[in-house]
Structure 1
């Protein structure tokens, strides 16, 4: 992926995070965990994330920064330097164990940690689409067969975006987080021929 891509009309660029940006990564994650649907969208609480030491954020950011090979985090940044969105792609190789305890059948990307600030959501903003375009471009360049994500069955706004972006339900589901109930539904996009 090019180092930065502009979001048309928004004064926002999408780019991979850099290793030293752990403070901004922490702030954006904590903002995401305060979102009204956070309990449906994320597998950790605000309190748990806020309690993590700086060393955790440094390690996470270094491991997801530009040029890494197993995961990549992309952020949407305004001209003024404010981070307004993020998405992370994890590479899962065939034969490894996935986060739900199953065996990964093929090389795949797994999209996690999707968040876009309220002022940048919706059809007109384009920020979410630009983040997904960057994530998919990176995953396809890693030569995966498909990209997947999970969305809680009650997170209908996110589910609608994923369908609009070209993801389809795979039929796989997992039990939702403790205290939330319901199911996490897997959506996938397969590599086009």
Structure 2
């Protein structure tokens, strides 16, 4: 298992992972274009991938402009192997070296993602978009979580 920075040439495999998930699915896969991925990875923020035997099995992307976790997804065939946690942690470690601003994300209620974020120390701040739970993480909470 290799965790590394995402590259533009990873986008086709990133899209495969994004469209293979069973929860937090896109209503229309064309809503997130390759160009969107490239912009969020290279202009607005940064991304990481997990690679196993040359195959991308998960990815994360953070947006510094909107202080938002834009994506964190794992191929369903590779769930429960710690990939999501590793991608989450490297992403937040990097994010908080760039800014001390809190970061937020939205995820569907009653999903494994909701439980994942709660366990990771995110706190619920209300609802967002189309019936998503909005979570936030502050610099202080992240630093305290990482030093425990």
Do these two structures clear the TM 0.5 threshold for a shared fold by scoring above it?
yes
Cα RMSD between the aligned structures?
Answer: 2.3
- 1:63 deviation in Å? 3.3
- 1:43 deviation in Å? 4.7
Cα distance change on mapping 1:139 and 1:161 into 2, 3 Å:
same
Taking the aligned partners of 1:69 and 1:136, their CA distance within structure 2 comes to 18
- 1:18 deviation in Å? 2.0
Cα distance change on mapping 1:119 and 1:36 into 2, 3 Å:
closer
Gaps of 5+ in 1: 1-11, 94-108, 177-182
Indicate the structure (1 or 2) with the bigger Cα radius of gyration.
1
Aligned to 1:99: none
Taking the aligned partners of 1:61 and 1:149, their CA distance within structure 2 comes to 17
Gaps of 5+ in 2: 144-148
Aligned to 2:137: 189
Aligned to 1:173: 127
TM-score (norm. length: structure 2): 0.81
1:75 aligned to which of 49, 54, 73: 49
- 1:126 deviation in Å? 1.3
Taking the aligned partners of 2:90 and 2:69, their CA distance within structure 1 comes to 11
TM-score (norm. length: structure 1): 0.64
Taking the aligned partners of 1:43 and 1:92, their CA distance within structure 2 comes to 22
Taking the aligned partners of 2:4 and 2:36, their CA distance within structure 1 comes to 17
- 1:151 deviation in Å? 0.8
Which has the larger share of helix?
2
1:158 aligned to which of 113, 129, 144: 113
Aligned to 2:146: none
Cα distance change on mapping 1:169 and 1:61 into 2, 3 Å:
closer
Taking the aligned partners of 2:128 and 2:114, their CA distance within structure 1 comes to 15
Taking the aligned partners of 1:43 and 1:62, their CA distance within structure 2 comes to 18
- Does the Cα contact within 8 Å between 1:85 and 1:127 map onto a contact in 2? yes
Taking the aligned partners of 1:121 and 1:34, their CA distance within structure 2 comes to 12
